[in-house]
Amino acid sequence: MEKTLSEYISLSKNLDDLKLEKKLKVAIMPSFTLNGLDETLRVKCSELDIRCQSYVSGYNQYNQEFLNPESNLYAFSPDITFLLLDIRNFLGEIFHFPYKFADKDRKLLVKEKTEQLEKIINIFSENSKSKLVISNFNIPAYSPNGIIETKSEFGFHEMIDEINKSLREMCKKKNSIYVYNFNNFISKHGEKNIFDYRQFHIGDIQITHNFIPTLADDLMSYVKPLLGKNRKCIVLDLDNTLWGGIVGEDGFDGIELGHTPKGKAFVEFQKELLSLWNQGIILAINSKNNFDDAMKVIREHPNMVLREKHFASLQINWNDKAQNIKEITSEINIGLDSIVFFDDDKINQERIKQEFPQILTINMSDDPSNFVPILKEINDFNVLQRTVEDTQRGEMYAQQRERKNFEKTVSNLDDFLKNLNIKVKMKKSNKFLIPRISQLTLKTNQFNLTTKRYQEKDIQNFSENENFKVGCAQVLDKFGDNGITGVYIVEKNKDFWVIDTFLLSCRIMGRGIETAILNEIIKDAKESGIREVRANFFPTTKNKPAENFLSEFGFTQQGSYWIYDLNNQIKIINHLEVEIEE
């Protein structure tokens, strides 16, 4: 249950977050009084093991701060900036008296206002590496034109809608700028609930205090993916979760799925899950059930929306659900903190909460019609940029299951790797690949030599710098395309190169791909007349799979670096093909 604003303010005074590993600098730039948002965001960040430092601008001072490169905002150097504007301040006198201006003059005024907004956005982008989240404007229910508002030529509501449309178009052009849909926030929770004239007249308070935590929760939707705190896998029970009833007792024809009101609720829930799967969220099953009974429903029931191909792991057995969770994380190769767990049984919920506090375990309702609203309230599935790999992730994990099954039919690893027909396509960084390269640096933990985190602007800067070499690898095999799953960034000096970043998605570890990629870096360095290649390994709690990679490849540790002498013979990988794309 959401805490009150006073609880958040109280908790913020006693935060002990100095030792937290992840750090974030947040700037809050409101055009109206917004007390308590700062404290609430800091507490919410600490709950995710993030130490949040914040900067809050003075009342309605955003314009001056954005336009002055010497301002306190730029000195603070935020990682993410929330520019929260209200339509009253933005329009000024026009807000109350739009119809004292002629139709054409209203259009000119809107154009002038949007150009002012675009100017400060552009200046901010030039002067800061921060992500900028700017709120759009709520369209008030009231209009001075009453019931003929919709007949007005470029009327009051249309003016605000045009500003919002222009804001969307501005932000589509810049990868680091996002629009927070404040108009949706008002629509969802109700203008009468959000805006209180008494508080407004006291001190230009335009969001009532009891809704500040709700606003903060919305804004955390941007913070989580920025720091890799979003989740990418939903683990689901079957009986009374994906369908009504117990298939082992009620039988194939006795479960509720479609037709009845409860049955329709389960179908609707599956549709929403499929929608998330299409956007790159992994689905898995953790069910105490007879495997054949459950699979018959999944494969054959006419009202099943989710089929076998949609699940990356199928743990359908009578084992302890905590043990099944371990099997799922092992099979998919993801962390526990990537998982959201849905199970109607309160005992199972408590079991997983106690065993794996890193997992987000959902308190489910007894009424399946509430499943979809509960799912939609979860703001852990957002991304700041959706890549091709994201949208194809579900299919990729289904293909991974096929690889696992194929591996069981082959007697040894060498034969398995040879029969996979692996092809590694080495690609240079470009504007289409930069989002994916950045995404992998932000979220890859296990096979990652240095775990350095880079935003898109950082990758772009590296790519445009002739002293750096930025590349990635697309991996394909007989079962399909794994997408862009490897990244490297190399700093080029006169006599030696330094591997700044070298990582591989956990999905493709153990197939020799990492060795093939490093081979190509070594070959390139040798052809460029370089004497040695240097690398670092910075150990973390999660990157143990990469611990011995450099030494096994042939690097020797000298001081703080691992060194590879280019006079050494390069390893030969016979079971895969490497293709260099210019």
Question: 438 in a domain, yes or no?
Answer: yes
Domain check: are 243 and 350 in the same one? yes
Cβ count within 10 A of residue 92: 11
Model pLDDT, residue 54: 95
End-of-domain residue from the set 182, 198, 226: 226
Question: 289 in a domain, yes or no?
Answer: yes
Task: From residue 312, give the alpha-carbon distance in Å to each of 343, 416, 486.
Answer: 18, 20, 21
Model pLDDT, residue 394: 82
Distance from C-alpha of 6 to C-alpha of 40, rounded to nearest angstrom = 9
Model pLDDT, residue 532: 93
Residue with tokens 């703080």: 560
Question: 393 in a domain, yes or no?
Answer: no
Question: 163 in a domain, yes or no?
Answer: yes
Closest CA to 441 of 423, 459, 416, 463: 459
Domain check: are 308 and 421 in the same one? no
Model pLDDT, residue 403: 82
CATH code for the domain in which residue 445 is found? 3.40.630.30
| Number of separate domains in the chain | 3
- Per-residue pLDDT 10s for the chain (582 aa) are 789 999 999 999 988 887 887 899 999 999 999 999 999 999 999 999 999 999 999 999 999 999 999 999 999 999 999 999 999 999 999 999 999 999 899 999 999 999 999 999 999 999 999 999 999 999 999 998 889 988 989 999 999 999 999 999 999 888 899 999 999 999 999 999 999 999 999 999 999 999 999 999 999 999 999 988 999 999 999 999 999 999 999 999 999 999 899 999 999 999 999 999 999 999 999 999 999 999 999 999 999 999 999 999 999 999 999 999 999 998 888 889 999 999 999 999 999 999 999 999 999 999 999 999 999 999 999 998 888 888 888 888 888 888 878 877 877 778 888 888 899 999 999 988 999 999 999 888 889 999 999 988 899 999 999 999 999 999 999 888 889 999 999 999 988 999 999 999 888 888 899 999 999 999 999 999 999 999 999 998 889 999 999 999 999 999 889 999 988 888 788 899 999 986
- The residue segments making up the domain with residue 299 are 233-377
End-of-domain residue from the set 199, 226, 253: 226
> What are φ and ψ of residue 557, in 5° steps?
-80, 125
Model pLDDT, residue 156: 94
At a CB cut-off of 8 Å and minimum separation 6, what does 264 contact?
A: 258
Domain check: are 162 and 183 in the same one? yes
CATH code for the domain in which residue 300 is found? 3.40.50.1000
CATH code for the domain in which residue 67 is found? 3.40.50.1110
Closest CA to 106 of 62, 152, 142: 152
Domain check: are 216 and 276 in the same one? no
Domain check: are 568 and 424 in the same one? yes
Closest CA to 470 of 439, 431, 427: 427
Question: 78 in a domain, yes or no?
Answer: yes
